[in-house]
Chain A
Amino acid sequence: MSDTRVNPAGGLTVQSLKANPRQARKERLIRDCLGGTALVSVLISGLIIWSLFSEAWTFMVEVDWGSVWDIGWFPRRGIYDIKTLIVASLIVTGIAMIVAGPLGLGAAIYLSEYARPGVRRTLKPILEILAGIPSVVLGFFALEWIAPNVVKTLFGGPAAGSLLAAGIGVGVLVVPLVASISEDAMKAVPMSLREASSGLGARKITTTIRVVLPAAVSGLMAAFIVAVSRALGETMVVFMAGGAAQTAVYTHDPLEGSLPLTAGMTSLARGTDSVVGEGLTFQSLFFVGLMLFVVTFALNVVADRFVHRVREQY
């Protein structure tokens, strides 16, 4: 295995099969640069956690915990009633899921099981366009159209912003999300299962409800969890159509206005041009943000597990 040994036929040696050093250096450099870009994502996660924790920690250490369970959200007066924000968030998310669940799932079943290819090719892109509508636009729509035409006429609520208007708006926003993840899950169910069911004489509706949906249940769970996470984190619709500005008294009536977590944060930043307010106002922003981050993170991890289960099954 000596490097200098020359083969009588071709004179091939280990040396001659060595990499061209310039090329090897270039390859290594490219690999390292690309690896560096991949590490940026880890850096970003680190920075997010660091920024949230450092400010939220100050809040948790210095805040008077009595003010965190109080009558409402008045951060500039030192009253940080988290329960107001959480309840508002839960109401909005609940309404959003009542809207988005059936609509998204129905659309997904139709597209996956019933739509002929031509119909699918037309309808699906439209749903995808809906997915791309910015949330400010949905916020405007919730305030200017849903509130007077749906909340007021159907539910007798105010024509201006309310948790119900915001919830419906958020629901519309997450319909395409529910539809697309559910559809992927149902498409992943092998054709052979459907054929087996039809072969036993089951009707299409029976096949769909008894065979396809149960087989896709992990994916459907993932769709709902991701949608909940997205609804909790949605900001602009609840901020614009939630019916409260900057402060809110505790309420659990969907027809009233209140501040979900995200809207509370936005109001705070929006109230004055400079977020640095009195006392712990600035820090409270990060405290609320941390709660939101932790909850959505947990939901996303769970949803990820469900998605993986689908992949492993089929």
Chain B
Amino acid sequence: MEQAEPEASPRLGLDIDRKMQAAVPNSTGDTVFEVEDLNVYYGDFRAVQEATFTVYEHEITAMIGPSGCGKTTVLRCFNRMNDLIPIARVEGRLDFREVPIYDPRVDPVEVRRRIGMVFQKPNPFPKSIYDNIAFGPRVCGMAKKKSELDGIVEQSLNRAALWDEVKDRLKDSALGLSGGQQQRLCIARAIAVDPDVLLMDEPCSALDPIATARIEDLMQEIKNDYTIVIVTHNMQQAARISNRTAFFTAQLDSTTDQRCGLLVEYDRTETIFSNPSDERTENYVTGRFG
């Protein structure tokens, strides 16, 4: 991998405060998510412990780590998808463009309209390709006329690099597409409501390498318009595509004797992979555990 380049960015001290890590220099754009001391509980079980980091606009932020480290849980906090689990509880600060999205006045539905999500397993609706894309704009009341809706569908499929493959069979069932096409359809479906952020939960884990490469190219193209946060099992993928990487691990909580997700290190991707400040990160990215 890429730790062969020893010259990378200046090494951060091991004793560094996590809040300082969050304020990594050279941010290119505005802050999209500001996460501070985020704790997520499932009932009595603490799944994520005191995560603090910042997501910047027009960047791809990757979350990596071994299974059960809470990275998906954190991702699902960003658009309040955890609300669907009745016993899930979120503590700490999670601001989206300076608005605390766990404020009781905030409606999760409104949050999800601005923060789209692509899931691990492609989950097209059992409807036509057209209706899959049109679903979001319809429920959000975005298009008044059929022609507007047609425009949105074409544009979204274009952006997801799927238009040429499906333009002649928009009325066919989406379930007839290949796995990779289905996942691009899901990306198109997510961007059809013109979100600010795209959350991607291991979007390539169910796909073959060629389909994966296409999705990765697609992400590079659309990151100019969106901010992307991606969870991935695949370290190379994180290294290839992301600007920043958050490394999570599962740590045994001595008081409860349960494993709990912990954000070990957050930095520019080059740094994480070539010159990590934490020994655990280094062990993980060099393949010594995980």
Whether A and B touch directly in their complex, counting CB atoms under 8 A apart, is answered as yes
Contact between chains at A14 and B30 (CB < 8 Å): no
> Which residues of the other chain, A, contact B114 by a CB distance below 8 angstroms?
12, 17
Say which residue of A1, A8, A18 sits within 8 Å of B110 (CB atoms). Answer: A18
Pairwise interchain contact A17-B57, C-beta atoms closer than 8 A: no
Query: Which residues of B in the span 147-196 have a Cβ within 8 Å of any Cβ on A?
Result: 196
- Cβ of A18: which chain B residues have Cβ within 8 Å of it? 105-107, 110
* CB atoms of B111 and A12 under 8 A apart: no
B109 within 8 A of A: yes
The answer to whether A17 and B110 touch across the interface, beta carbons within 8 angstroms, is yes
Given A12-B114, A14-B100, list of 20 further CB < 8 A pairs?
Answer: A7-B97, A7-B99, A9-B30, A9-B57, A13-B99, A14-B105, A16-B99, A16-B110, A17-B107, A17-B111, A18-B105, A18-B106, A18-B107, A18-B110, A19-B107, A19-B109, A19-B110, A20-B107, A20-B110, A23-B109
Shortest distance from the beta carbon of B152 to any chain A beta carbon, whole Å:
20
Given contacts A14-B106, A17-B107, A18-B110, contact A9 B100 (CB under 8 A): no
Quick one: closest B residue to A3, CB to CB? B105
Task: Determine whether A199 belongs to the interface, using a CB cutoff of 8 Å to chain B.
Answer: no
Is B17 positioned at the interface, with any CB of A under 8 Å from its CB? no
B53 located at the interface, meaning its Cβ lies under 8 Å from any Cβ of chain A in the complex = no
Q: Nearest residue in A to B113 (C-beta to C-beta)?
A: A17
Among B30, B99, B103, B110, max chain A CB count under 10 A is at B99
A-B residue pairs, 7 tightest by C-beta: A19-B107, A12-B97, A17-B106, A9-B30, A17-B110, A7-B98, A7-B97
- Beyond A17-B110, A19-B110, whether A12 also contacts B103 by CB under 8 A is no
Chain A contact residues, CB within 8 Å of chain B: 1, 5, 7-10, 12-14, 16-20, 23-24
Flag whether B96 is at the interface (Cβ < 8 A).
Answer: yes
5 example contacts (A-B, Cβ-Cβ < 8 A) are as follows A5-B98, A7-B97, A7-B98, A17-B107, A20-B110
Contacts of B196 in A (CB 8 A): 10
Answer yes or no: B101 CB below 8 A from chain A CBs.
yes
Q: Taking each of A9, A14, A17, A19, which has the highest tally of chain B beta carbons within 10 Å of its own beta carbon? A: A17
* Residue on B nearest A8 in the bound complex, by CB: B30
When distances are taken between beta carbons in the complex, the residues of chain A under 8 Å from B110 are: 16-20
CB distance from B168 to the nearest CB of A (A): 37
> Which residues of B are at the interface with A, using a C-beta cutoff of 8 A?
30, 57, 96-101, 103, 105-107, 109-111, 114, 196
A30 to chain B, nearest CB (A): 14
Find chain A residues with CB under 8 A from B111 CB.
17
Would you call A17 and B30 a contact (CB within 8 A)? no
Please report the C-alpha to C-alpha distance between residue A9 and residue B109 in the assembled complex, in whole angstroms.
Answer: 22
State the CA gap A124–B96 with chains docked (Å). 56
A202 to B103, CA, bound (A): 62
CA of A242 to CA of B69, assembled, Å = 67
Quick one: which of A8, A12, A19, A24 contacts B96, CB cutoff 8 A?
Answer: A12
Q: Which of A14, A18, A23 has the most CB of B within 10 A?
A: A14
A12 and B106 form a contact (CB under 8 A): no
Which of B97, B101, B109, B114 has the most CB atoms of chain A within a 10 A radius of its CB? B97
Q: Which of A7, A10, A17, A23 contacts B101 (CB under 8 A)? A: A17
Residues of B within 8 A of A12 (CB): 96-99, 114
Closest residue on chain B to residue A23 by CB atoms: B109
Question: How distant is the Cα of A1 from the Cα of B107 in the complex, in angstroms?
Answer: 16
B106 lies within 8 A of A9 (CB): no
In the complex, are the beta carbons of B106 and A1 less than 8 A apart? Answer: no
Looking at the assembled complex, report how far the CB atom of B167 sits from the nearest CB atom of chain A, in whole angstroms. 33
Residues of A within 8 A of B30 (CB): 8-9
**In chain A, what residue has the closest Cβ to B97?**
A12
Most A CB contacts (10 A, CB to CB) among B100, B106, B196 go to B106
| Residue numbers in A under 8 Å from B106 (CB-CB) | 14, 17-18
Q: How far is the CA of A12 from the CA of B103 in the complex (A)?
A: 14
| Docked pose: A8 CA to B196 CA in angstroms | 15
* A24, closest chain B residue (CB): B107
CB distance from A210 to the nearest CB of B (A): 38
Q: Considering the complex, give the chain A residue whose CB is closest to the CB of B100.
A: A1
- Cβ contacts under 8 Å, B57 to chain A: 9
Q: Which residues of chain B come closer than 8 Å to A8, judged between CB atoms?
A: 30
| A13 to B106 alpha-carbon distance, docked (Å) | 10
With both chains docked as a complex, state the minimum distance between the C-beta of B102 and any C-beta of chain A, in angstroms.
Answer: 11
B97 adjacent to A10 (CB under 8 Å)? yes
| Residue among A10, A18, A19 with the highest chain B CB neighbour number at 10 A | A10
**Given the complex, which residues of A lie within 8 Å of B101, measured CB to CB?**
17
- Contact between A14 and B99 (Cβ–Cβ < 8 Å)? yes
Chain B residues in 8 Å Cβ range of A9: 30, 57, 97
* CA gap between A8 and B96 in the complex, in Å: 13
CA of A23 to CA of B140, assembled, Å:
11
- Chain A residues with CB under 8 Å of B103's CB are 1, 14, 17
Give the Cβ gap from A15 to chain B, nearest Cβ, in Å: 8
Which residue of chain A lies nearest to B111 when distances are taken between CB atoms in the complex? A17
Complex Cα spacing A145 to B196, Å: 75
